[in-house]
Amino acid sequence: MSLPIRNVAIIAHVDHGKTTLVDALLRQAGTFREGEEVPTCVMDSNTLERERGITILSKNTAVRYGETLINIVDTPGHADFGGEVERVLGMVEGCLLIVDANEGPMPQTRFVLRKALEKGLRPIVVVNKIDRPRAEPYKAIDKVLDLFLELGADEDQCDFPYLFASGLQGFALEEADLNDFLAGNYSGSLDMQPLFDGILKHVPPPIGDASKPLQLQVTTLEYSEYLGRIVIGKIHNGTIRLGEQLALVKEEGKIVKNKVTKLFGFQGLQRIELTEATVGHIVAVAGFAEANIGHTLTSPDNPQALPLIKVDEPTLQMVLCVNDSPFAGQEGTFVTSRQLRERLMRELETNVALRVEETDSPDRFLVSGRGELHLGILLETMRREGYEFQVGQPRVIFREVNGQPYEPYECLVLDVPESAMGSCIERLGQRRGEMQNMMVGSDGRAQLEFVIPARGLIGFRGEFIRMTRGEGIMSHSFLEYRPMTAEMEMRRNGVLIAFEEGVATSYSLKNAEDRGVFFISPGTRVYKGMVVGEHNRPQDLELNVCKTKQLTNHRAAGGEELVHLQAPVDMNLERALEYISEDELVEITPKSVRLRKAQLTTSRR
């Protein structure tokens, strides 16, 4: 007799505490041994996820609570990784919507909630971080209800259950206990039991028939050097057994038959080998090398495919090409167009929201994604794997509706100090942003909400950080396609361009400091046509940054003084992508990120 099952996804805006809450659930369920050292955010296993503190890939785990097996799927909160959210929501019957008690629902809360409501799920709302000083849990619940109504939730969905929690401290509370806790009078035990009980009470068990032919939809792919491709998905109907022959139904009904070589279930952070699994179980299956996301594993005698997973279309694209700069091939391991093409095609197998098109030139590929972060994470991953390449300026993808050009619009929310409000509103006005809402708090901060064309956001983040002196928080998510607006003013100063190949010297950088700000420091190798800084005027300027001081045998007064240079602007990958204009490229290698002009010689420019 198999255990009763509950499948639940955890969805929220980025940084509202999903992964920390999963840590608390795992701890309470006894996943970790006594005295075992447990890292924070155990589900964020990817290096980039740990560095950035965000979830990029959906991952699942399973815990036992009493006699029930609860499968928990942790999803990304960033709208750029919406493809990950869409495909895993088909695996679950319920979801926990995590909302920050201080910030309330944010743009990506709207995005992930809309996807959950479209799937017919009834979320359990968890107001997280109630132990924070500025927490307003009741206000957060009111805002969530407004958002449900705005998104057209039905009566049953609007009557949502809710709980209050602190993922960091590892406890959840019913509404009856919240006032006592806020007043400091609560004497009960602080643990995650109310949340587990809420999952058992409000998340329905999986629906399906174990006696019907097998139907398992592939929602995640992994690769093992020993087992090859591993597919992960939920069993909708039937039973799967180790060693049995199954049919894989691909696009357009094509069928491939293979044997189940390994079958795994999930328990805590471990995988356990199974001999069979039935309806509602989320399992990992090896033996199907041609499987792809959305395909169905089914009975070979009576193959019945499930509908393919539909994912929102990309909104941003860029050209990725082979590196042809004077430093090409010096730092990367994989530099040819064949290697780049193979890597991009491999990414397509697991990254459902990505599109790759070949162009007239074999050295150039058109890569489309959900946003700058989505594309930036792909480029950063490739760079760390040893690939070397160049990319052009990201561009918005336009659509044609009834013969009219349409463009994507975004919902943008800014949390800024009051002193920066005016400059943010003015700058977004120039970028065709329309203010929808403004709230000024008693703590000297304001929350501004805008609707803005997606192209108006390209390059805005750097300006925003400068305007708010690094104190602002900015988040946005795709809203809809609307008729294209007029041209917008995307003002940016000219750039400083290296005049010749060599090594930058502190002498030449010091002499040119009054011309603008630099992206390089002394000792950096440069080549002719490389962008080394931003000019303080609108036009581009060529400089010799490799010039050395003419030495004589006379000692000048003050000649031994230490030269103090302004700190260079650190151009990381995402910042470089935002910064470049149409006639520039970003050269990306495992060791460097360089900005350059597409045409290196002055006469060609």
CA-CA distance, 343 to 54, in Å (whole number)? 24
Closest CA to 9 of 43, 46, 51, 33: 43
What token pair was written down for 90? 């088909």
Buried-state track 472-491, b at ≥16 Cβ within 10 A, e below 16: bebbbbbbebeeeeeeeeee
Instruction: Give 336's DSSP letter.
Output: S
Under DSSP, the state recorded for 253 is: G
Structure tokens at 555: 């000692």
371 is an annotated ligand-binding site residue: no
Task: Identify the helix (H) or strand (E) that includes residue 222.
Answer: strand 215-224
Q: 553 is written with which tokens?
A: 């045998």
Q: Is 130 annotated as a binding residue?
A: yes
Yes or no: say if 54 and 118 are a contact pair by the CB < 8 Å rule.
Answer: no
According to the annotation, is 128 in a ligand binding site? yes
What are the tokens at 339? Answer: 């290697």
Is 505 annotated in a binding site? The answer is no
Q: Is 17 annotated as a binding residue?
A: yes
**Residue-wise DSSP of 286-327:** ES-TT--TT-EEE-SSS--PPPPPP-PPP-EEEEEE---STT
What distance in Å separates the CA atoms of residue 244 and residue 254, rounded to the nearest whole number?
20
Question: 131 labelled as ligand-binding?
Answer: yes
129 among annotated binding-site residues: yes
Closest C-alpha to 69, from 82, 60, 58:
60
Instruction: Report CA-CA distances (Å) from 397 to 265, 318, 400.
Output: 41, 10, 10
The Cβ-side half-sphere exposure at 335, using a 13 Å CA radius, reads: 13
Asked if residue 292 belongs to a known ligand binding site, the reply is no
Confirm or deny that 236 is annotated as ligand binding. no
Residue 44, amino acid: D
Amino acid 322 reads V
How is residue 10 written in tokens?
């955890």
Distance CA(111)–CA(311), nearest Å, equals 13
CB-CB contact of 275 with 242 (8 Å): yes
SS3 content of the chain, % helix, strand, coil (to 5): 25, 30, 45
The neighbour count for residue 502, using CB atoms within 10 Å, is: 17
250 belongs to an annotated ligand binding site: no
Residues placed in the known binding site: 15-20, 128-131
Binding residue numbers for GTP: 15-20, 128-131
